[in-house]
Amino acid sequence: MITNQYFDLRVEAEGISHSTARVLINVEGEGGIESLNFAGANEITTDNDNNPLGADKAWTYRRVSFSTPGIKTVSALVIDGRRVYGVATQISVQNFNLVGQKSIVLFIGDAMGTAYRDASRIVAQSTANRFREGWFDELQQMDKMPVTGMSMTYSLENIVPDSANTGSAWTTGNKTINGALNVFPDNNDFKYNSANQQATKQFALDNPRVETLWQFLKRRHGYKTGIVTTSDVADATPAAEGAHTITRSLLKDIARQYVDGSINSGNQFDVIMGGGLEHFNARTVANSGDTRNLVTELQAAGYTYVQNRNELNAITTPPAKILGLFRTGNMNVAYDKLLLNRPPDEPMPNFGGFTNQPYLDEMTAKAIDTLKQGNAPFILMVEGASIDKQSHPNYAAGQIWDNIELDKSVAVGRAFLNTNAQTLANTLVLCTADHDQSLSIIGAVDTQVPNAIQNVISTLLYPNANRGQGNVGIENRVGETQGFPDYQDANGDRYPENTNRIRIKVGYRTGDHTGSSVPVTAEGTGALLFYGYFDQTDIFFKMAKTLSMNTQPLDEALNYKRSVDVPYFTPAEQFRLKKATERFG
Ligand SMILES: [Zn+2]
């Protein structure tokens, strides 16, 4: 926790004998006994657990916070007639004291582990009108950020996490179980039944919550907040910034929480962009428990509503708030928006009638233009969602081009950061992933070889790599070639047309998430805090630290490092040096 961050404290007593059982809470900080601060209710519930024979009781204190930092030992005594039961836990509270007016843009490539970043770089930066072959890759935008760290992603109960608990890690600083958004599990969760969602969802929405950094900064410091994604806006990664539920599947309730709030009341974001239109304008009692139209409600609350790419790009004067819902479900991937032909092992696009969808970099630019107005600082999350969604079914083209789309959005964030000395001193840009997936880079493939295999999907026999060491593992490496791809980018939009002969060859082991650490790159004020190996929850504390300290000495140290470091060659320099080595070679 950070000081004054809200969370709910729940004490559960099972197997008790008396309905009159009561609880005594004791809080001890480093300075001695403290009182339990809670701004909400103390809810008392019975018959929570799955044991119908014994009595049970739970006390949930809503909106607890600590105003001072340090280790807090919280103990609970349950007095049950003549019996007394006790339990204690310790909570670490970091000091948060806003210094200056700094903004944060956090880019998330869903599932973007190292192999994903590499595949995207190889495809986007090896085009024939650039210089690459046999020499250095040109760095992507996300690679050019000067600080790199690694984030461990495991959840409260699994090595392999999902997007809900990982998002909760960087938004709240706490770990939770897979599928959960910013709440801890409790002992009535088993009563939620997805087959009977509306009648049982109260048990998924009543869990002990933790306030997200987005919510905290809006409530305490008047920050503007935003979520931009290529997924459904109620999907796990955007929901992690502003919703509370033990199951990410309650999409209609997540959308409702964006409007009504959950741990805090009122609108949670100034900018909401992505898919998921149906959660706002097609609500029924059966699917949502209400018949509200959240689009018209948000319009009445001052949001400018845009429904397609033309309407988004027609905005010249940024409005106070934007709601952009560009299709139902998840938005289409870059490869399909570009109208490229999918390779034979990937499906043809289905636009669902929404043929005029913006690109993520366009959405990012309008989001920043909107949030940066006035003097309030802002915090924005931008997600490239289909890196993950295309990786699950092993669609390499859909996935890699989506990674390029995210990188073009990172370019927008970096351009804003580098606008002037003031933005440079007051903005932190981060780019990371929530978790990894099972992509491997195998090599290159000659697509003119009959039945050439470009993409080894997880259900096929995995090939041995051919690195010029003889005929080992010849089973599946049809068309495999040594060397590098020869992509073309004729129109210079940085998305290769994917029509040339030699292409990247990749494989998937599982088509699911993996438990590997993921890279974090950082630029701007406080970036140096993101150097090293750390847990994903530390991203929350490092963001909070950036906002609550004088970052100038840190930033000067990074500038000094950059001034003395070896240079990364530009393509022109590489070309000159390559020519020189050829002359001697
Ligand atoms: Zn996934």
pLDDT, tens digit, 9 for 90 and up, residues 17-42: 988 999 999 999 999 999 999 999 99
- Smallest Cα–Cα separation from 171: which of 253, 97, 79, 269? 269
Asked which of 84-93, 130-139, 282-291, 421-430 is least confident by mean pLDDT, the reply is 130-139
- Condensed to tens digits (0 to 9), the pLDDT of residues 483-514 reads 788 888 888 899 999 999 999 999 999 999 99
Which pairs count as long-range contacts for 26-31, CB under 8 Å and 24+ apart, including other chains?
26/74, 26/75, 26/76, 26/77, 27/72, 27/73, 27/74, 28/72, 28/73, 28/75, 29/66, 29/68, 29/70, 29/71, 29/72, 29/73, 30/70, 30/71, 31/68, 31/70
CA–centroid distance, residue 162 to ligand 1 (Å): 6
For the cut 80, the answer to whether the pLDDT of residue 165 exceeds it is yes
The pLDDT of residue 2: 98
CA–centroid distance, residue 486 to ligand 1 (Å): 30
Q: What mean pLDDT is predicted for residues 527-553? A: 98
Q: What mean pLDDT is predicted for residues 428-449? A: 95
The pLDDT of residue 486: 86
Residue with tokens 């020519």: 579
Alpha-carbon distance of 467 to 463, in angstroms, equals 12
Angle at CA 262, nearest 5°, toward 258 and 266?
A: 55
Residues within 5 A (CB) of ion ligand 1 = 388
Strand blocks (E) in 112-179: 147-152
The pLDDT of residue 302: 97
CA–centroid distance, residue 137 to ligand 1 (Å): 28
CA–centroid distance, residue 230 to ligand 1 (Å): 14
Strands 70-80 and 303-306: unpaired
The pLDDT of residue 476: 54
Q: What mean pLDDT is predicted for residues 540-564? A: 97
Task: Please enumerate in sequence order all residues whose Cβ is within 8 A of that of 434, keeping only pairs 6 or more positions apart, or say none.
Answer: 108, 110, 111, 153, 161, 163, 166, 167, 237, 388, 518
Structure tokens at 322: 């934007």
DSSP-assigned letters across all residues of 198-229: HHHTHHHHSSPBB--HHHHHHHHH--EEEEEE
Alpha-carbon distance of 386 to 390, in angstroms, equals 5
Q: What mean pLDDT is predicted for residues 215-230? A: 98
For the cut 70, the answer to whether the pLDDT of residue 129 exceeds it is no
Asked which of 236-240, 254-258, 522-526, 579-583 is least confident by mean pLDDT, the reply is 579-583
Q: What mean pLDDT is predicted for residues 521-525? A: 98
Residue 329 DSSP label:
S
CA–centroid distance, residue 437 to ligand 1 (Å): 8
Three-class DSSP category at 270: coil
Q: What mean pLDDT is predicted for residues 68-95? A: 96
Which pairs count as long-range contacts for 414-420, CB under 8 Å and 24+ apart, including other chains?
414/141, 414/144, 414/145, 414/523, 416/105, 416/368, 416/372, 417/105, 417/523, 417/524
CA–centroid distance, residue 155 to ligand 1 (Å): 14
For the cut 50, the answer to whether the pLDDT of residue 585 exceeds it is no
Compute the chain's Rg from CA coordinates.
Answer: 25
- Condensed to tens digits (0 to 9), the pLDDT of residues 450-489 reads 888 889 999 887 766 555 555 554 445 788 888 788 888 8
- Report the 10 Å Cβ neighbour count for 196: 9
CA–centroid distance, residue 196 to ligand 1 (Å): 25
CA–centroid distance, residue 396 to ligand 1 (Å): 15
Strands 271-275 and 321-325: parallel
CA–centroid distance, residue 111 to ligand 1 (Å): 7
Task: Please enumerate in sequence order all residues whose Cβ is within 8 A of that of 326, keeping only pairs 6 or more positions apart, or say none.
Answer: 273, 274, 275, 277, 307, 308, 309, 312, 354, 357, 358
- Condensed to tens digits (0 to 9), the pLDDT of residues 391-415 reads 999 999 999 999 999 999 999 999 9
The pLDDT of residue 451: 86
CA–centroid distance, residue 64 to ligand 1 (Å): 33
Phi, psi (5° rounding) for residue 198?
Answer: -65, -35
| 138 vs 296 pLDDT, higher one | 296
CA–centroid distance, residue 288 to ligand 1 (Å): 24
CA–centroid distance, residue 390 to ligand 1 (Å): 9
Alpha-carbon distance of 201 to 189, in angstroms, equals 9
CB 327 within 8 A of CB 354: yes
pLDDT > 70 fraction of the chain, expressed in percent and rounded: 93
pLDDT band at 584 (very low <50, low <70, confident <90, very high): very low
- Condensed to tens digits (0 to 9), the pLDDT of residues 335-361 reads 999 999 999 889 999 999 999 999 999
